[in-house]
Structure 1
């Protein structure tokens, strides 16, 4: 699977600062989508089994790609590297709206990965546009993204997980708002 090898090379280039952030983010995002698209084919998915099995079978060493696929987000989204400290009112409003939309989805009992993952990705991306400061609950957002990313699209989180996720997101929302003061 060339996507895995290419992603590993991209991660190495990013770490060495050999690629611009914007180009890295765009390319990484595209590779992650291609990986998911390839595995959405049932025959390919069945043969592939999982990434660790695939890597063993083909004797591949690609630790950076493995981690990026586990997280499911470009490094620039997972850990923002903003150089500014201020944010526009529109960016703050968008982040707030994304938090509320995500929490509303949980209240409406939308528990499937394919419903929650895109909404939670929107939360972290919009938050990263507002602040590069760490805040209470930010790590939980990333952790939940990783959890959702490792699920199949048709899988759902349990009711207990939904309660925990809702609690974590409320905490993260309050932590985010505190960074704005």
Structure 2
């Protein structure tokens, strides 16, 4: 007689099921990850942060491979960074998120490009001026007027920022937007790496790593004012 093969291990005759280990939930019932609306909102926000971080990393890869135009990259990157910062402005979300490094470790994700972009707080096209800008002589009167307007706007952004520092506006949420306007307006005028341009970028990174309500010390404020004044002088020299 050919033995019948069993699809499972035979159970000893002495085995008696332990009813205390029986399932106490309905296996057909949907398991909820959150019990309250607040918990669901928190989980949704953390999921959105996860998505933004992953998307930023992929965006940086695409930009490095020239797989996306500069303008499109800049727009998407700036929007993603704004969303990231806006979500973490909520204290409950920030408390659960803890820090980028802890969040990455918790979910076991390796995103070096997104990590650097979040640390810097601005697109690569802002850190390094776009090659599309130019200081070459304008071919027409209309183009010359446009260039003059851009130079005027950049000059006004420098002056506005320096005035803010002199008036004692020293918190991150006061200075970072103004300094961002400076570098963006400068990039529209020239792609030259003029004297002390790098100091604008370094101060942007420093401010980006501060909490929104953190303020610069008096010494930092003096250094900031001097550095940006020198950058302004360097910018003006490119126009002569």
TM-score (norm 2): 0.74
Equivalent positions of 1:142-157 (< 5 A) are: 142-157=201-216
* Structure holding more helix per residue: 1
Deviation at 1:136, TM superposition (A): 1.0
What SS does the corresponding residue of 1:133 show, helix, strand or coil? coil
Residues 1:85 and 2:144 aligned together: no
* Aligned residue among 54, 68, 79 for 1:5: 54
Structure 1: distance between partners of 2:112 and 2:99 = 15
Alignment correspondent of 2:156? 97
Deviation at 1:38, TM superposition (A): 1.0
* Aligned residue among 156, 171, 175 for 1:116: 175
Give structure 1 stretches of 5+ with no counterpart: none
* Aligned residue among 168, 172, 179 for 2:231: 172
Structure 2: distance between partners of 1:80 and 1:136 = 14
Equivalent positions of 1:64-83 (< 5 A) are: 64-83=113-132
What SS does the corresponding residue of 2:67 show, helix, strand or coil? coil
**Bigger RCO of structures 1 and 2 (CA < 8 A, at least 6 apart):** 1
Structure 2: distance between partners of 1:21 and 1:125 = 14
Q: Deviations over 1:39-76 (max 9, x none)?
A: 01111101111111111121111011011101111111
Deviation at 1:139, TM superposition (A): 0.4
Deviation at 1:110, TM superposition (A): 0.1
Point out 4+ residue stretches in structure 1 off by more than 4 angstroms. none
Give structure 2 stretches of 5+ with no counterpart: 1-49, 137-145
* Aligned residue among 48, 73, 85 for 1:24: 73
RMSD: 1.0
Aligned length: 181
